[in-house]
Structure 1
Amino acid sequence: MNRRHAMAAMTAWAALPAAAPAATAVTAGDLRDDIAILRQALALHPGLYRYASPREVAERIDRLEQVFLAARSIEARYLALSRFLATIRCGHSYCNFFNQSDAAARTLFDRPTRLPFRFEWIGGRMIVTDASAADLPAGSEVVTVNGLPAGRMLEALIGYARADGHNDAKRIALLGVSGSDRIEYFDVFHGLVFGAPRDGVHRLDVRMPDGRERTVAAPAIGLAQRQARMAIPAERGDRPAWTWSMGADGIAVLTMPDWALYDSAWDWRAWLDERLGTLGGARGLIVDLRANEGGLDCGDALLARLSDQPIVDPRERRLVRFTRTPEAIRPHLDTWDHSFHSLGVGARPVGNGFLQLVGDRGEDVIAPVGPRITVPVAALIGPVNSSATFQFAQKARRTGLVRLFGETSGGNRRGINGGCFFFVRLPASGIEFDLPLIGYFPPGLPPDAGIEPDVRVLRSAADIAAGRDPAREAAAAWIRRA
């Protein structure tokens, strides 16, 4: 389950009372109570000590408490808590933009500080992908923003970015602006750390695709303007979330930017089955997952059509760190399923404070579904893939049923945390953070890294300027040779 699952779940718990943002004059005692709630809540986190010792974590919480008490605004406390949560190195533990109270969200996120273009980071360079309101062609490099070198800005912000383990490629991908999220990670932390530009205008030193250098004045934009320019509509209702096209070369392209379809009225299974049924005379299929963080296990429906034998996937151990939640903090734990409060009841102790959930089998099985797809299938992956899409990449790589092209995935082969969540609300500061409850632990000690593609393909600024997609081109060339 990824962070967007929490967004979908909001409809289930929207009636719960939301904590109001703190009044200006909160007392030190109130803030200490927030930290006490945080300590007790984090004791439930299954991945708290995956990358740090109990002593290191305790010392970090002590430092957080000092900063929290000294801070004079919700913005400063939000930054302090976000930076601390990032040290857990869990891609599902953060102060979720979409779970804050309305008043806190207005204060923290609705700020006229945004750069008026989309971009991604390539080799530490800020490369424009869609100029939007700025007079910048795609492929331009923004060298400085308001006098600060772009690379130094990235260094200042990466400590606030969430990711699993030491997979920094995911952190860097989060700090681009893709146009796919209603609230972009970069926008939030760039605005809070650096504030509004002088006179509401960003001054940029830019290197154009042809090598010419310019200074550009780019008026800052607010949240509503950013959302109006989204590449992917925020609300779809029963409309398809994916696109399908068949090229003149007989290669079909399925673009799946999102699997977070928990509350969607769209019948994605029927839509997908109908299109997969047209592949009989095709040369192959390319599945583009690069913008897809995860959601439902939609990829299993594709894998089921590719194999004539059951796909047996060794299941990671699912571990929790509690039997029942402490009564003292239950009022501060929102969720969409209150059975989570007794998640560990009946679980089997396995040492080191962990309980293994009952009913865990030693393996998961994807049963074959006909008619079988016999054409070659390629998937395009990258650092955004960190939840269900990370797990799909893992299965695809292990089975060899799908050839992977692109860049290293997000997520982590050492295991991730998720499955069930509490939304922890700190009453004095008025800030929420997401708390995953199930830790997934593979056998042995796998690398602290994402999934490597079968064929590594990097995109350059020149590719962006020319409108080229080298990963898709490499996948199509492989299909034509197959």
Structure 2
Amino acid sequence: MNRRIFLGATGALTACAALPVRAGTGSGLAMDMEVIRAAISIHPGALRYLSEAQLADALDEVARAYLRAGSLPARFLALSTFLAKLKCGHTHCNFYNQRDAIADDLSDRRTRLPFLFRWIDGQMVVTRDLSGSGRLPPGTIVTAIDGRAPAAILGALLPLARADGGNDAKRVAQMEVTGGERFPAFDIFQGLLFPPQDGVFSLAFEPPGGAPTTARLPALSPAQRLAAAPPLPDDGTPLWSLAQREDGIAVLTMPSWVVYRSGWDWQGWLAERAPALYAARGLVIDIRGNEGGLSCGDPILARLAGEDILLDDYRQQVRFRSFPAALDPFAVTPVPSFRTLGVDAVPLGDGFFGQDPATTPVPRIAAASPRLTTPTAILVDASNSSATFLFALRAKEHGLATLVGSQTGGNRKGINAGAVAFVTLPGSGIEFDLPLVGYYPASPQPDRGVLPDVAVQTTAADIAAGRDAQLEAAIARLR
């Protein structure tokens, strides 16, 4: 399951608590639209996939839907639909950054499905039964939920999914529920659009090797789901593991790079285990399900590279000198200087500002010595869309590792990230994340993620058998 990135959520919520909020009045909601328009005017990727006319139409459309919405959930859905049209994986109504009262209104409902699942070839495949009935073993294919085909539910939710460009594999991955998250996107949107009747789901399904059957199973509350599938710890406990196989291959598992919310010394953890990486016959780095966070892969790239890695493939650009007056009172930034990123920048054309390429040194990842020559494979999937996308891209572009799995998230045409503002609307109180820096390729790139060197798709039969086909393929490649 894709990991959500907490872009400084705790600090943002604390600072936003002092912002004025009206109780959804007409004048307050109209002010919301002024703030939204001001925010989009400086969004670095607003015109990456939309023309000016298309963006103007989308803003007019969300204004109509938002202003006529009769409830907070309806406004939340209207705004989420608009933000998804920007095709930016970092622009969304961040569930984790909402005030408690708003988060409760949106998600504190007994509407969770009683199982975890993945989407495989358009089918909803159970990965874990949480119902207590024992009727949904791993590999079960769910064919109907309250009379609706799961594919139809997915189709209704995809326009709400955040992803970069035309990378629909990321949108589908956003709508999986594999555990370890407090607010899975599927749970929030399904709970608002397709809640169960009287707290019970009517399911049709096909168990592995069994005949089609049906069952009525109780929906889970958020607390029940979290108890059954808790998130990763944030108390300083290491988030990663390093396993040494009998064949001499080491497996480094990194389910998240969101390491800034705890006191864990991840750099020290990696350094302590470096000797084992050098001694291994082969190395598998598993970043599946990892959206990103900090650039935790850079120390690994530094060891794998024989020379410095120049980071000149993407240019960083902003669309503002300083925050517009209509936005400034309602935006919080982790670093005050984010509000004036373009003040000392030079015009780059098309409304962008950035560093002067003629006088600015090219950033780089300095090579570490001694070089790590252990043959390396990286397990990737559609969740890899921020720091993990860049890690996979650089590893492939520089020939440092073999990528195994499926297309990553993110987009080779560039992403918007690096600095963020947390915008809280004064009328509704809804928060959305606004990235401030756009990464634009130095040369034309395809509208997709990074393709693996060895493509291996998981099947329902793999899940039923408890088989990790991608790990097996990586190990076979390294032997």
TM range (shorter): over 0.9
Whole-angstrom CA distance in 2 between matches of 1:87 and 1:52:
8
Aligned to 2:228: 229
Number of corresponding residues: 475
TM-fit CA distance, 1:191: 0.5
- When residues 323 and 330 of structure 1 are mapped into structure 2, their CA distance, relative to the original with a 3 A threshold, is same
TM-fit CA distance, 1:314: 1.9
Contact 1:182–1:230 (Cα < 8 Å) also in 2 = no
Structure 1 residue corresponding to 2:269, chosen from 248, 259, 271? 271
1:388-399 to 2 correspondence within 5 Å? 388-399=387-398
* CA deviation map 1:294-349 (0-9, x unaligned): 01111111111123322223241111111011223311112222221111101110
Which residue identity lines up with residue 127 of structure 2 in the other structure? T
Aligned to 1:351: 349
TM-fit CA distance, 1:280: 4.0
1:303-318 to 2 correspondence within 5 Å? 303-318=301-316
Aligned to 1:130: 128
3-state SS of 1:14 partner: helix
Aligned to 2:475: 476
Deviation larger for 83-92 or 128-137: 128-137
The reply to whether residue 63 of structure 1 matches residue 36 of structure 2 is no
Which residue identity lines up with residue 228 of structure 2 in the other structure? R
3-state SS of 1:440 partner: strand
- When residues 44 and 280 of structure 1 are mapped into structure 2, their CA distance, relative to the original with a 3 A threshold, is closer
3-state SS of 1:328 partner: coil
Whole-angstrom CA distance in 2 between matches of 1:12 and 1:30:
21
Structure 2 unaligned segments of length 5 or more: list them: none
TM-fit CA distance, 1:37: 1.2
Which residue identity lines up with residue 406 of structure 1 in the other structure? G
The reply to whether residue 140 of structure 1 matches residue 123 of structure 2 is no
The reply to whether residue 379 of structure 1 matches residue 388 of structure 2 is no
Contact 1:257–1:292 (Cα < 8 Å) also in 2 = yes
1:189-200 to 2 correspondence within 5 Å? 189-195=189-195, 197-200=196-199
Contact 2:321–2:342 (Cα < 8 Å) also in 1 = yes
Contact 1:18–1:101 (Cα < 8 Å) also in 2 = no
Contact 1:390–1:409 (Cα < 8 Å) also in 2 = yes
- When residues 339 and 147 of structure 1 are mapped into structure 2, their CA distance, relative to the original with a 3 A threshold, is same
Whole-angstrom CA distance in 1 between matches of 2:319 and 2:142:
46
Aligned to 1:109: 107
Structure 2 residue corresponding to 1:325, chosen from 323, 326, 345? 323
Whole-angstrom CA distance in 1 between matches of 2:222 and 2:18:
22
* TM-score after normalising by structure 1: 0.95
TM-fit CA distance, 1:29: 2.8
Aligned to 2:182: 182
Contact 2:255–2:288 (Cα < 8 Å) also in 1 = yes
3-state SS of 1:275 partner: helix
- When residues 409 and 241 of structure 1 are mapped into structure 2, their CA distance, relative to the original with a 3 A threshold, is same
1:399-478 to 2 correspondence within 5 Å? 399-478=398-477
1:16-35 to 2 correspondence within 5 Å? 16-17=16-17, 23=23, 26-35=24-33
Contact 2:13–2:99 (Cα < 8 Å) also in 1 = no
Which residue identity lines up with residue 393 of structure 2 in the other structure? Q
Whole-angstrom CA distance in 1 between matches of 2:12 and 2:69:
34
Which residue identity lines up with residue 217 of structure 1 in the other structure? R
TM-fit CA distance, 1:27: 3.4
TM-fit CA distance, 1:101: 1.1
Which residue identity lines up with residue 132 of structure 1 in the other structure? L
Aligned to 1:158: 158
* CA deviation map 1:8-35 (0-9, x unaligned): 3523661442557753xx4333222211
- When residues 20 and 305 of structure 1 are mapped into structure 2, their CA distance, relative to the original with a 3 A threshold, is same
Which residue identity lines up with residue 261 of structure 1 in the other structure? V
Which residue identity lines up with residue 373 of structure 1 in the other structure? L
Contact 2:250–2:280 (Cα < 8 Å) also in 1 = yes
* CA deviation map 1:155-180 (0-9, x unaligned): 01100000000100001001000113
Which residue identity lines up with residue 111 of structure 2 in the other structure? T
3-state SS of 1:317 partner: strand
* TM-score after normalising by structure 2: 0.95
Question: Identity across aligned pairs (percent)?
Answer: 48
3-state SS of 1:169 partner: helix
Aligned to 2:239: 241
TM-fit CA distance, 1:58: 0.8
Deviation larger for 347-356 or 10-19: 10-19
TM-fit CA distance, 1:459: 0.5
The root-mean-square deviation of aligned C-alpha atoms, in Å, is: 1.8
Contact 1:203–1:216 (Cα < 8 Å) also in 2 = yes
3-state SS of 2:326 partner: helix
Whole-angstrom CA distance in 2 between matches of 1:351 and 1:434:
26
Whole-angstrom CA distance in 1 between matches of 2:15 and 2:35:
22
3-state SS of 2:363 partner: strand
Contact 1:3–1:92 (Cα < 8 Å) also in 2 = no
Aligned to 1:37: 35
Contact 1:315–1:363 (Cα < 8 Å) also in 2 = no
Whole-angstrom CA distance in 2 between matches of 1:130 and 1:185:
18
Whole-angstrom CA distance in 1 between matches of 2:324 and 2:11:
25
Contact 2:7–2:420 (Cα < 8 Å) also in 1 = no
3-state SS of 1:435 partner: strand
Whole-angstrom CA distance in 2 between matches of 1:247 and 1:381:
20
